[in-house]
Homo-oligomer: A and B are copies of this chain.
Amino acid sequence: MLYYFLFSFALAMDPVPKNIPALLTSDLIENSNDQDWRDVAQKDLIYLQLETGLVLIELNEAFAPKHLLNIKQLAENKYWDNQRISRVQDNYVVQWGGNSEDKTKLKNVKPKLKGEYYSTKIDDSTITSLDDKDVYTKYVGFLNGFPVGHYGNKTWMIHCYGALGVGRDEAFDSGNGAELYTVIGHSPRHLDLNITLVGRVRHGIEHLSSLPRGLGPMGFYKDKNKGMVIKSLRVGTQLPRRQQKFLQVLRTDTPLFKQLIGARKFRQESWFHYRSGRASICNIPLPVRFK
C-alpha cells in the first residue's frame, strides 16, 4: 500500500494523521470483488416509472415496517398510477401522492400510522461509523447501505440527497405513506427525527431533480396538470420477472467501504490541492451497479 504525505490538511482544521493511504474511489470500485456488493431485494425495490424515465428506490426494512407495508399495499393497489408529481421545491424536495380518496385504491391500507422516526432495536456495533464530527448529532455512519444517525439507544435515517420520506401534516399520526417525497437539494437535516424516512433513491434521481420547479407556495404546482405524470409505481415483487432490474449496491459493512470513506476524506485525485481529511455523512456516495 502506498502512503502519501499530505502537508496541507492542517490548514483548515486540527491536525489529523499524516500518513494516509493513497486510495482512489475509482480504483477501489474497480478492484472490488463480488462479496463487496449485495443484491437489492425485489421486495425492497420501488420502480417509479415516469414519462421520462425510471427511478429505482430501495426501501429500508429496518426503521418503518408499518409504513413499508402500507406503501407496498398502495403500490399493489396502483394508488399512484397516472397521478402527477404535485410539488418540486428547489433545493428541497419532489413530492407526490396523498390526494386520492378512491376506496378501491385504499383497500387494506391503514388510514393513519404513528410516525416511525427512529428505532431502538439497532445494535450500534453494526453501524459503520464515519468517525467524524456531525453538526446535528453525536454519531453518524452507514447501516446496510443507508446513512444513519445514532445517539443513546436511538438510531434513525438521515435526510441526505435522494432520501425517500413520508409526507405528513402537523399531527404525529397524519402520514400513512400515500404522500411521498424525495430530497433533491442540500441535506435538510432539520427534518431528521421529524418524519418517517423509508428509503433512498439508488438510480435515476435526475428524472426527479431536473423537473421544472413549482411556482406556488412551497414549490407546489399552481396548475396541477403541469406536474410530471407517474405512469406507475410498483415494488419489484409485483412485476413480471422480465421487467425486474437486478441492482447491486456496495456493502457498507466491509473493509472496502471503510477504505472508500477514507478515499472520500483524503481525495487522492491529483486535481486536489487540499484534502480536508473529513467528510460529511451526506457527501459519501453509495456506488451501485446492474448485475
**Which A residues form the contact surface with B (CB < 8 A)?**
11-14, 88, 90-91, 115, 117, 132-138, 149, 151-152, 154, 156, 160-162, 169-170, 172, 185-190, 192-194, 205-206, 209-213, 264, 267, 270-276, 278-280, 282-283
Chain B residue at minimum C-beta to C-beta distance from A90:
B206
Q: Closest residue to A282 on the B side, CB-wise?
A: B186
A212: chain B residues within 8 A (beta carbon): 210
In the complex, the chain B residue whose C-beta lies closest to that of A190 is B267
Q: Are A170 and B271 in contact (CB under 8 A)?
A: yes
Main secondary structure, interface of A, reads loop
Q: How many copies of this chain?
A: 2
Contact A194 B13 (CB under 8 A): no
CA distance A126 to B195 in the complex (A): 37
Instruction: From A13, A90, A272, name the one whose CB has the most chain B CB atoms within 10 angstroms.
Output: A90
User: Is B210's CB under 8 angstroms from A11's CB?
Assistant: no
Per the bound structure, the CA–CA distance linking A30 and B11 in Å amounts to: 40
A137 CB, min distance to chain B CBs, angstroms: 4
In the bound complex, residues from chain B placing their C-beta under 8 Å from that of A132 are 135
Other 18 A-B pairs with CB < 8 A, given A12-B156, A188-B283:
A11-B151, A11-B193, A12-B136, A13-B138, A90-B210, A133-B133, A133-B135, A135-B278, A137-B276, A170-B270, A185-B186, A186-B282, A189-B280, A190-B267, A192-B276, A194-B271, A206-B213, A209-B213
